[in-house]
A and B are shown apart, each in its own frame.
Chain A
Amino acid sequence: MSGAFAIEGELTIYRAEELQAALGEALARDPALQIDLSHVTEFDGAGVQLLLAARKAAPRLAVVRPSPAVLEVFELLDLAGQFRSDA
């Protein structure tokens, strides 16, 4: 059974270090983690990079329930297909 990890608020450069640590811990426990992005309000290049890095470490992770802010970026970068997601 896969665990869930929710990111709320900003997924940006301002919280990148904090989220890196938290995400790292969560992925160590469960490499097939579901990252819930439904409450992400802002999403920038650093956030994108963080998710790309996480996927390198854990190819089976999934991004689920992207918020409108996330979807906008996924659309801009044509990334939706790159993350296994239920969106």
Chain B
Amino acid sequence: MNLDQALHTFVIESRELLEDMEAALLAARGASERSEFVNALFRAAHTIKGSAGLFGLDAVVAFTHVAESLLDKVRAGAVALDDELVELLLQCHDHLGALIDAVDGGDDPSDARWAAPGASLAAHLRARMGQPAPREEALAAVSPANHWHLSLRFGQNVLRNGMDPLAFLRYLRTLGTIRHIVTLPDAVPALDALDPTACHLGFEIGFESAADKEAIEQVFEFVLDDCVLRILPPNARVSEYTELIHAMPEEPARVGEMLVRCGSITERELKAALAAQQAAGTSAPIGQVLVELGRVQPAVVDAALAKQQRVRELKAQESRSVRVDADKLDRLIDLVGELIIAAAGAHTLARRTRNVELMERNETLSDLVERVRDSALQLRMVKIGATFTRFERVVHDVARELGKDIALAVSGEDTELDKTVVEKIGDPLTHLVRNAMDHGIEPADVRAARGKPAQGTVRLNAYHDSGSIVIEVSDDGGGIDRERVLAKAVERGLVEAGRQLTDSEVFALLFEPGFSTASQVTNLSGRGVGMDVVKRNIAALRGSVDMASRPGAGTTVTVRLPLTLAIINGFQLAVGKSVFVVPLEMVEECVTCTADGEHDYIDLRGHVLPFIRLRELFALPGTRGARENIVVVRHGGCRIGLVVDTLLGEAQTVIKPLAPMFARVRGISGSSILGNGDVALILDVPALMQQAGARARPAHAAA
């Protein structure tokens, strides 16, 4: 691994840690008990600092050091993690993100661009360190029955790993009271022989606490691998102390003396223990002795085992996953696309030869190619949860900016979709969420007047629906004023006055360019740009966007996206010599066309089904055949029929984008190359539906 690669790994890991940090901060904000999040924060800062040090990124180390020191104080209970501090740490998180981005971009993070904001943040952090938080009287009612004895020897690498042994003791104090402590100079060499970066410190501690053993052990979580820690429970038997005495590297008499100094055993007990020890001469390990004596509570053992199990699973998972460059995956998927086209070509030729054996082999091959395609595409599928999590921060920031109390509720995080889609959906979603917060959710007084909870909710939901992924952004706000939208649309000349529009048609107007009903222009939205951009971005992903709203109850924006942008299962249709493809998931059924020339709808088992004649729509040459077929397609709860000459059946379709000069062609979303080398056009079903709806309306109005 060369340095560039290592640096790249550092960048990726740092970003992951920063994500953890942000998640912990946001979770802490809503929690009453915040201490559990402090460890995650500390770990993030600590690890970034350590790794940055390896690369000599002094600016990152210096800044992170200040943050880590403060977090250390928070961990020790000396500084409270209040809302203000969470806010400050969020800013630090952003600054660190900027520094990491700079590193990633090949810039020097010590550049003045970052130094100034860094210095100001660091000053704020230092200011917080200076003002100690009111120390809570931790765990009252400490009695001698709560007297634990801790023997602690730090490993040589503790300092080198960037830990300060003292930090653990400060943290320990949050769990109880250190009654007595003996700092052991025994292992520390004389000055000239000392390696000042190796840790030789050891402590014997008499500790009063009502906490359980696991909690005490947790204090030393970060150094458990690199220290010797023995914890004797309150009222431990003398024999256990005997074991301890012999387990420690120091002379038995010396350890015994320290135990007495810590108040853990009496002088008389020590003498008895040492004598008994010499007489018996046992050397069983202390853990075994503890279990034999039944001193260790079963819960502690179970918890320890469960924890080990978790660690093991985590490690196993780590070794099961591989980081792959996204470019490599894209190349693989391109190749699979070519493979599908080539296989289709071979398939067509094989059929022409009428060689049964060759055709059979080709079937097997096609089957395998299909499976390779599915596996390759699966590689790019990611859960949408990570994207949703990012909105915690967006909601937090925007809510502050707006002065509204708004919570984010997330569901369907496990829904998977293509990585390229995930990357491109972020901006449109951000806009929708901001919009919901800004325009959707009412100010607190209005909410109170309407009898709603003061805290507004923005909801993100995702699920799969017939080959698409559906993402919903909803709010429990005031809903959309239909009449106001309509009035504005008439004023702008988007619709004629007096026309009857359905609700969804009215709401669709909001996505028209230049449309905005916000009477108040805010920093966030309401400038009349945005919703049309959202629609355009989503359309570029071959998706669609709809809006539904109930006055006073809220608004839901539904975004539908194809699962993948590269390869789909297609259904091929032909009109004359032109071949078209619709995504197979959208095809509901195929029926023989029974309509005469007059109507553009049929009666399908008692329901009206509007249809489009593709020959007329695309002005294709040729006349209607004697037997036409209707392909019934469904999208987002609507159905229409497509009238075609022949049905060619199912085929894998590699989507090739259309050249920009065809971008304005309605009803076509892409192209594909057939097995015989011809080009097929992929139909844009949502756009066709809109067209069908637009043509159907005057007909209804007339009827």
Chain A interfacial positions (CB closer than 8 Å to B): 13, 16-17, 19-20, 23-24, 27, 44-46, 48-50, 52-58, 73, 76-79, 82
Contact partner of A53 among B169, B181, B191, CB < 8 A? B191
A16 and B159 CA atoms in complex are apart in Å by 11
Known contacts: A56-B185, A76-B169. The answer to whether A27 contacts B191 by CB under 8 A is yes
Asked whether B197 is an interface residue with its Cβ less than 8 Å from the other chain, the reply is yes
Is there an interface contact between A13 and B159, defined as CB atoms closer than 8 Å? Answer: yes
Known contacts A13-B159, A17-B197, A53-B191; can you find 7 more A-B pairs with CB under 8 A?
A: A45-B164, A46-B164, A53-B188, A57-B191, A77-B166, A77-B169, A78-B180
Asked whether B601 is an interface residue with its Cβ less than 8 Å from the other chain, the reply is no
Q: Which residues on the A side are within 8 Å of B194 (C-beta)?
A: 20, 49-50, 53
Q: How far apart are A58's CB and chain B's nearest CB, in angstroms? A: 8
Known contacts: A20-B191, A24-B192, A57-B191. The answer to whether A78 contacts B200 by CB under 8 A is no
A77 and B192 CA atoms in complex are apart in Å by 24
Is there an interface contact between A82 and B159, defined as CB atoms closer than 8 Å? Answer: no
Q: Which residues on the A side are within 8 Å of B180 (C-beta)?
A: 78
Known contacts: A52-B188, A78-B183. The answer to whether A17 contacts B164 by CB under 8 A is no
Is there an interface contact between A78 and B190, defined as CB atoms closer than 8 Å? Answer: no
Q: How far apart are A77's CB and chain B's nearest CB, in angstroms? A: 5
B76's nearest neighbour on chain A, judged by CB, is A76
Chain B interfacial positions (CB closer than 8 Å to A): 154, 158-159, 164-166, 169-170, 173, 178, 180-183, 185, 188-194, 196-197, 199-201, 203
Q: How far apart are A43's CB and chain B's nearest CB, in angstroms? A: 8
Is there an interface contact between B192 and A76, defined as CB atoms closer than 8 Å? Answer: no
Q: How far apart are A75's CB and chain B's nearest CB, in angstroms? A: 10
A42's nearest neighbour on chain B, judged by CB, is B69
Contact partner of A77 among B159, B181, B191, CB < 8 A? B181
Q: Which residues on the B side are within 8 Å of A23 (C-beta)?
A: 191
Residue pairs across A and B with Cβ atoms less than 8 A apart, 13 shown, are A27-B191, A44-B166, A45-B158, A45-B165, A45-B201, A49-B194, A49-B196, A50-B196, A52-B188, A53-B188, A53-B190, A76-B181, A77-B166
A79 and B183 CA atoms in complex are apart in Å by 7
Is there an interface contact between A45 and B196, defined as CB atoms closer than 8 Å? Answer: no
Q: Which residues on the B side are within 8 Å of A45 (C-beta)?
A: 154, 158-159, 164-166, 199, 201
Q: How far apart are B340's CB and chain A's nearest CB, in angstroms? A: 59
Q: Which residues on the B side are within 8 Å of A54 (C-beta)?
A: 191
Q: Which residues on the A side are within 8 Å of B164 (C-beta)?
A: 13, 44-46
Q: Which residues on the A side are within 8 Å of B203 (C-beta)?
A: 77
Q: How far apart are B42's CB and chain A's nearest CB, in angstroms? A: 16
A13's nearest neighbour on chain B, judged by CB, is B159
Q: Which residues on the A side are within 8 Å of B183 (C-beta)?
A: 48, 52, 77-79, 82
A16's nearest neighbour on chain B, judged by CB, is B196
Is there an interface contact between A52 and B181, defined as CB atoms closer than 8 Å? Answer: no
A45 and B182 CA atoms in complex are apart in Å by 14
Q: How far apart are B440's CB and chain A's nearest CB, in angstroms? A: 50
Known contacts: A23-B191, A54-B191, A78-B182. The answer to whether A49 contacts B200 by CB under 8 A is yes
Contact partner of B192 among A13, A55, A57, A82, CB < 8 A? A57
Is there an interface contact between A46 and B159, defined as CB atoms closer than 8 Å? Answer: yes
A20 and B192 CA atoms in complex are apart in Å by 8
A13 and B65 CA atoms in complex are apart in Å by 13
Known contacts: A53-B190, A57-B192. The answer to whether A13 contacts B185 by CB under 8 A is no
A53 and B201 CA atoms in complex are apart in Å by 11
A86 and B178 CA atoms in complex are apart in Å by 25
Most chain A CB within 10 A, of B164, B181, B191, is at: B191
Q: How far apart are A42's CB and chain B's nearest CB, in angstroms? A: 8
A52 and B154 CA atoms in complex are apart in Å by 15
A78 and B179 CA atoms in complex are apart in Å by 10
A38 and B192 CA atoms in complex are apart in Å by 24
Q: Which residues on the B side are within 8 Å of A73 (C-beta)?
A: 166
Contact partner of A49 among B181, B188, B193, CB < 8 A? B188
Q: Which residues on the B side are within 8 Å of A13 (C-beta)?
A: 159, 164, 196-197
Contact partner of B170 among A50, A58, A76, CB < 8 A? A76
B158's nearest neighbour on chain A, judged by CB, is A45
Contact partner of B166 among A17, A24, A76, CB < 8 A? A76
A19's nearest neighbour on chain B, judged by CB, is B196
Q: Which residues on the A side are within 8 Å of B193 (C-beta)?
A: 53
Is there an interface contact between A49 and B190, defined as CB atoms closer than 8 Å? Answer: no
Is there an interface contact between A16 and B191, defined as CB atoms closer than 8 Å? Answer: no
Contact partner of A17 among B158, B181, B189, B196, CB < 8 A? B196
Q: Which residues on the A side are within 8 Å of B169 (C-beta)?
A: 76-77
Q: How far apart are A87's CB and chain B's nearest CB, in angstroms? A: 17
A23 and B194 CA atoms in complex are apart in Å by 12
Is there an interface contact between A24 and B191, defined as CB atoms closer than 8 Å? Answer: yes
Q: Which residues on the B side are within 8 Å of A50 (C-beta)?
A: 191, 194, 196
Q: Which residues on the A side are within 8 Å of B199 (C-beta)?
A: 45-46, 49
Q: How far apart are A67's CB and chain B's nearest CB, in angstroms? A: 14
Q: Which residues on the B side are within 8 Å of A20 (C-beta)?
A: 191, 194, 196
A61's nearest neighbour on chain B, judged by CB, is B191
A84 and B225 CA atoms in complex are apart in Å by 35
Is there an interface contact between B189 and A53, defined as CB atoms closer than 8 Å? Answer: yes
Q: Which residues on the A side are within 8 Å of B166 (C-beta)?
A: 44-45, 48, 73, 76-77
Contact partner of B201 among A24, A48, A55, A78, CB < 8 A? A48
Q: How far apart are B178's CB and chain A's nearest CB, in angstroms? A: 8
Q: How far apart are A52's CB and chain B's nearest CB, in angstroms? A: 4
A51 and B662 CA atoms in complex are apart in Å by 78
Q: Which residues on the A side are within 8 Å of B154 (C-beta)?
A: 45
A17 and B193 CA atoms in complex are apart in Å by 12
Q: How far apart are A24's CB and chain B's nearest CB, in angstroms? A: 6
A45 and B153 CA atoms in complex are apart in Å by 13
A54 and B194 CA atoms in complex are apart in Å by 9
A26 and B365 CA atoms in complex are apart in Å by 82
A18's nearest neighbour on chain B, judged by CB, is B196
Is there an interface contact between A56 and B181, defined as CB atoms closer than 8 Å? Answer: no
Is there an interface contact between B190 and A46, defined as CB atoms closer than 8 Å? Answer: no
Q: Which residues on the B side are within 8 Å of A57 (C-beta)?
A: 190-192
A23 and B190 CA atoms in complex are apart in Å by 12
Q: Which residues on the A side are within 8 Å of B165 (C-beta)?
A: 45
B194's nearest neighbour on chain A, judged by CB, is A53
A13 and B181 CA atoms in complex are apart in Å by 23
Q: How far apart are B23's CB and chain A's nearest CB, in angstroms? A: 30
Q: How far apart are A29's CB and chain B's nearest CB, in angstroms? A: 14
A46 and B201 CA atoms in complex are apart in Å by 9
Most chain B CB within 10 A, of A24, A49, A57, is at: A49
Q: How far apart are A51's CB and chain B's nearest CB, in angstroms? A: 9
Is there an interface contact between A55 and B197, defined as CB atoms closer than 8 Å? Answer: no
Is there an interface contact between A16 and B197, defined as CB atoms closer than 8 Å? Answer: yes
